[in-house]
Amino acid sequence: MDPPRVITTLDDLRAAVGPLRRAGWRVGVVPTMGALHEGHLSLVHASRAECDFTVAWIFVNPSQFGPGEDYARYPRDLQADLDKLAACGVELVFAPAEGEVYGPEHDTWVEPGAVAGPLEGEHRPGHFRGVATIVLKLFNMIAPDAAYFGQKDYQQALVIRRMTADLDLPIEIRVCPIVRESDGLAMSSRNAYLSPAARRRATVLWKSLCLAKELVAGGERGAETIARRMREVILSAEDARIDYVALVDPETLQQVERVDRPTLAALAVRIENTRLIDNCILTVE
C-alpha cells in the first residue's frame, strides 16, 4: 500500500479535508498519540469500514500529562506508525508540531464535569481537562462525522461523549472494544516500558478482572468483597502498586455497593513504575 500523506499544518489539513466534506463524504477520525498497536489499528479498521475517508491524528498532547508523568519519554516513532497505517490503507495522517496546536498565547480550556472527577480524575488531576481540550480542538480542525476511541480508556470515552452532547457537536462518538495480547494484557503504548519480567507480572490486571467476572457469575454481589479479592490477585505480583480498583456505575462512575446490574470494574495499577489501566463490564445473568 502507498504510504499515507502526512500533513503537519492546519491550513493543509483543511485544504485536504474540506473538499471531501463538501462532496458529501463521511469523514472519520482516529485520534492517537502514536506508538500505534493493534488496539489503535482496530479503530482505524472500524473507521474505514464505516466512513468514506479516515484521518489518523498523531500528537502527544502535553496538556494531558501531569508534572512528573511520562510526557518526555512517551514512545514516539512516526515512521513505524506510518508503516502500520499504510498497511491499513489510511491515506491521510495529521501529525502537527506542538506550536501548530497550542499557540504561545493559548489560554482556553475545556473543563469537563462530574464524570471526569473519580478514578483517573482523582489520580491524574487536570488530565481530562487536557484531553477534552485537545479533542475539541481536533474536532474543530477536522470537523469529522465520526470519531473512534478505545474502551480501554473507558472514562475518557465517557468524558468525550458528555462533551460532544453538551457542546452540541455533530459528531458520532464510536467506542471500540479493548484489544488484548494473547495472555489478556490490554494493549497499550505504555506496555513497551515494561521489562520482560514486569510484562509477565502485568497479567495480574486481566486475571483480577477475570476473577471479578467469575465471582459475579458464581453469585457474589458484594462490591467490596469482589474488589478485595481483585486487590489480592493484583498484589500477588511483586512490586504492584494499586492506584484504584473500583466497582462503579458504568454511566456515572459512582461507587456501587452491590453488583446487581451491569457494573464497571476499573483499575489502575503501577508495575515497575509503569501505570497501566484496564476495565470490563460485569454483567449479571
Active site residues: 40
Residue 269: burial class (beta carbons within 10 Å; 0-12, 13-18, 19+): buried
* 31 is a site residue for ligand PAF (CB under 6 A): yes
In contact, 176 and 149? CB cutoff 8 Å:
yes
* Among 27, 29, 32, 93, contact with ligand PAF (rule: CB under 6 A): 32
What does DSSP assign to residue 259? -
Query: For residue 100, what are the contacts with CB-CB under 8 A and spacing of at least 6?
Result: 8, 9, 10
In contact, 95 and 6? CB cutoff 8 Å:
yes
Kindly give the pairing relationship between strand 274-282 and strand 172-176.
Answer: unpaired
With contacts defined by CB under 6 A, name the span among 83-91, 131-139, 194-202, 204-212 that binds ligand PAF.
Answer: 131-139
* 176 is a site residue for ligand PAF (CB under 6 A): no
Q: How far is the CB of 257 from ligand PAF (least distance, A)?
A: 31
Q: How far is the CB of 235 from ligand PAF (least distance, A)?
A: 28
Give CA–CA dist 80/76, Å, rounded. Answer: 9
Q: What are phi and psi of 153, to 5 degrees?
A: -90, 65
Q: How far is the CB of 21 from ligand PAF (least distance, A)?
A: 21
In contact, 240 and 269? CB cutoff 8 Å:
yes
Give CA–CA dist 137/26, Å, rounded. Answer: 19
Q: How far is the CB of 79 from ligand PAF (least distance, A)?
A: 19
Give CA–CA dist 269/185, Å, rounded. Answer: 12
The amino acid at residue 45 is: H
* Among 134, 215, 226, 248, contact with ligand PAF (rule: CB under 6 A): 134
* Among 33, 115, 116, 234, contact with ligand PAF (rule: CB under 6 A): 33
* 191 is a site residue for ligand PAF (CB under 6 A): no
* Among 47, 61, 191, 274, contact with ligand PAF (rule: CB under 6 A): 61
Give CA–CA dist 187/39, Å, rounded. Answer: 6
Q: How far is the CB of 138 from ligand PAF (least distance, A)?
A: 8
Which lies closer to ligand PAF via its Cβ, residue 167 or residue 197?
A: 167
* Residue 183: C-alpha distances to residues 205, 208, 279 (Å): 11, 13, 15
**Position of cell 473538499?**
19
Which lies closer to ligand PAF via its Cβ, residue 28 or residue 233?
A: 28
* Among 115, 135, 267, 277, contact with ligand PAF (rule: CB under 6 A): 135
With contacts defined by CB under 6 A, name the span among 25-33, 42-50, 66-74, 101-109 that binds ligand PAF.
Answer: 25-33
The pattern of x and - marking residues 63 through 82 that bind ligand PAF according to CB under 6 A reads: -x------------------
Question: Which residues in this chain contact ligand PAF in the complex, by CB under 6 A?
Answer: 31-33, 61, 64, 131, 134-135, 153, 156
